[in-house]
Structure 1
Amino acid sequence: MRRFFFSGATALCLTLFGHAASADQLADIKAKGTLVCGTLGTAEPFSFPNPQTREIQGYDVDFCKAIADSLGVKLELRLVAVPARITELQQGRVDILAANLGWTSERAQQIAYSDSYFASLQKVAVRRNSGIKTLDELGGKRVSAIKGSTSEMGVRKAIPTASPVTFQDAPAAFLALQLSKVDGLALSELVLVKYKQQAENTTPIDIVEKPLMLEAWGIGMRKDEAALIEQVNGALRKLDQSNAATAIFDKWLGASSPYGMRREFQIAPIKG
């Protein structure tokens, strides 16, 4: 059996060559002519199958397309599971992530985040006949939330005198509101909008306008890829300045969508 030995200089050259070959992901993406964007594919209205064509579409997908266009390359979508998102990115199976990726300090230690391109608002719903209109009016009252969720944390911070009543899932927390066991329900605004539609003919609810808190979502990228991070942030800022970002929001979440939401945020750096 032959054995191969490398001198220290040769090994150093190979190491440096390997590092250089993978040091500029932006150049690699342009060279291959394709941007691989990891997305969930199961999260309406962010990335989900078109009922007719089965093609993946949505808010996240449109941002992926816009970033690919800014690079002058084709877009390839790759579906990822929530628990595997960061692993898929770190192992190079996707170039970027647009996959409902809320910023956390733990994740930020593993990957780089772009500026925030979506803000997931945590809000409170109340029964319409309660007369409650503001968060302050929930002081001293019971508010349901999912145990350990950002919504629960938001209640404790924004309404310190309220009493959070926690449940294992959103349906149970919603039922508590319908049965008048609690005075408010804290959840993501998107979920509350759906519950409001469902409850209109039974126990109507309203959503308090002021949010409890805001969870910033960013495009996920590998660390130490300064050129790609700068490119993505530049593309996002141009979308905001041209109102294209607002158009994407309105298309999937705005007044003419089933959600009827208003865009109350701008693309901006995420502050941890």
Structure 2
Amino acid sequence: MFIFKQSAIAALTTAVLMTVSFSASADQLADIKQKGTLICGTLGTAEPFSFPNPSTREIQGYDVDFCKAIAKSLNVKLELKMISVAARIPELQQSRVDIVIANLGWTPERAEQIAYSDGYYASLQKVAARRSSGYKSLNDLTGKRVSATKGSTSELGVRKSLPTASTTTFQDPPAAFLAMQQGKVEGFAVSELMLVKFKQQTEDSSPIDILEPALMNEYWGVGMRKEEPGLIKHVNGVLENMEKTGEAKQVFDKWLGPNTAYKLQRGFKIEPIKG
């Protein structure tokens, strides 16, 4: 009887290990196609990348259009999941989302945890200050207080470029900006694009200045789990095709180009991110 029990336990253990091994090697690309839905994690609070349409409240923007393009390429429905900046990598690692397209700047530390697609956007990270404060350059904030979004590359950029500054973090850019406007901090770090928007909104009431030089140039990629080579290859193929056909430039011009409030020219192409 004892021998039988040992054999049964051994067989059960083998079955469990085989199940775990099968699950670990499962193809996420095939799983997405089978379930018929792509879950794309995005911020939902970062205009013009992912933000509510004022009329419909539907989430729209530059990042959302890339989510849509990838879902369309797989012939599946798109499900947008709103996540915070700090939760982007944990949500991905815990399989609560399939991909992350959420202002996810490349850093060596993040690249050790997750896989990045080719860069689909390049963003300058800068710091702003209230005009009334009299700060003229980035170095004027040495030893001062600077706000940033928690877990963002802007936060990392402040710590690297202004090591003596005191960094105060918030859950989203509007909260970090408000802290500067209320005098709780002297500077506010975020992408140049968002600073242009904040500057336009406050020019008549409480003007700000965008300080030079920039903290860093940040390349954004689609975040994926490292153990999914099929999905990584597919996503990069979609991005490459969007670049070749001009669709990527059309998305840029739609949200950021000369006929928008930002009036930016696209000075980059989709290509592998060089660490």
**Is the structural similarity TM-score above 0.5?**
yes
1:188 counterpart (191, 204, 225) = 191
CA gap of 1:185–1:262, structure 2 versus 1, over 3 A, is farther
Given candidates 235, 239, 261, the residue that maps to 2:238 is 235
The whole-number CA distance in structure 2 between the counterparts of 1:34 and 1:259 is: 33
Residue 27 (structure 1) aligned with residue 17 (structure 2): no
- Give the secondary structure class of the aligned counterpart of 1:142: helix
Q: State the shift of 1:20 in Å.
A: 2.7
| Distance of 1:165 and 1:7 partners within structure 2 | 60
In structure 1, give the amino acid aligned to 2:55. Q
Q: Quick one: which of 8, 12, 15 aligns to 2:14?
A: 12
* TM-score relative to the length of structure 2: 0.73
Instruction: Report the equivalent of 2:140.
Output: 142
- Asked if the contact 1:39–1:79 (Cα under 8 Å) also holds between the matched residues in 2, the reply is yes
Query: What corresponds to 1:117 in structure 2?
Result: 120
CA–CA separation in structure 2 for the residues paired with 1:166 and 1:40: 26
How do 1:77-226 residues align onto structure 2 when only pairs under 5 Å count? 77-123=80-126, 142=140, 146=146, 149-152=155-158, 168=168, 170=177, 187-198=190-201, 200-201=203-204, 211-226=214-229
1:270 maps onto 2:270 in alignment: no
The AA in structure 1 aligned to 2:30 is A
- Is contact 2:105-2:219 (8 Å) kept? yes
Cα distance in 1, alignment partners of residues 167 and 236 from structure 2: 38
* Equivalence for 2:65: 62
Q: Compute the displacement of 1:262 (Å).
A: 2.0
Separation in 2 of the partners of 1:251 and 1:266?
16
* Aligned position for 1:75: 78
CA RMSD of aligned residues (A): 3.6
Q: Distance in 2 between matches of 1:95 and 1:233?
A: 15
SS of match in other structure, 1:120: strand
1:48 aligns with 2:48: no
SS of the equivalent of 1:23 reads coil
Cα distance between partner residues in 2 of 1:186 and 1:77: 27
| 1:154–1:256 Cα change, 3 Å | farther
For structure 2, which runs of at least 5 residues remain unmatched after alignment? 149-154, 169-175
My pick for the range that moved more, 94-103 or 83-92, is 83-92
Stretches of structure 1 lacking an aligned partner (at least 5 in a row)? 129-136, 158-163, 177-181
- Measured against aligned partners, the alpha-carbon deviations of 1:188-236 in whole angstroms (never above 9, x if no partner) come to 2123312442465579777689855211111111111111001011111
The verdict on how the C-alpha distance between 1:174 and 1:190 changes in structure 2, with shifts beyond 3 A counting, is: farther
Distance in 2 (alpha carbons) for counterparts of 1:125 and 1:263: 23
Sequence identity percentage: 55
Q: Is the contact between residue 45 and residue 58 of structure 1 (CA under 8 Å) also seen in structure 2?
A: yes
Q: Aligned residue pairs: how many?
A: 249
Q: Which residue of 1 aligns with 2:173?
A: none
Q: Compared with structure 1, are the counterparts of its residues 92 and 172 closer, same or farther at alpha carbon in structure 2 (3 Å cutoff)?
A: closer
1:160 match: none
